[in-house]
Amino acid sequence: MYIFRTSFTRKGKTYYARDYGKKAFKIYINKKTGNMIVNL
C-alpha cells in the first residue's frame, strides 16, 4: 500500500518534496509489519 506525503521526518530531519523537485513523496507501507520505505 502506498501513501503520498509532501514531507516526512527521519532521524530528526524533515525532508520536503519541493526540495527534490516533487509534489509529494510516494511512501510504501508494509501491511503486515507497518514499516515505511521512502525512496528519495
pTM, to two decimals = 0.71
pLDDT digits over 18-33, tens only? 999 999 999 999 888 8
Instruction: Tell me the C-alpha distance between 1 and 36, whole Å.
Output: 10
Instruction: Tell me the C-alpha distance between 6 and 19, whole Å.
Output: 10
pLDDT interval class at 36 (50, 70, 90):
confident
Burial of 15 by CB count in 10 Å (0-12 exposed, 13-18 middle, 19+ buried)?
middle
**DSSP 3-state of 19:** helix
Closest Cα partner for 29 from 13, 8, 11, 12?
8
Q: Which residue ranges make up each domain of the chain?
A: 2-38
pLDDT interval class at 35 (50, 70, 90):
confident
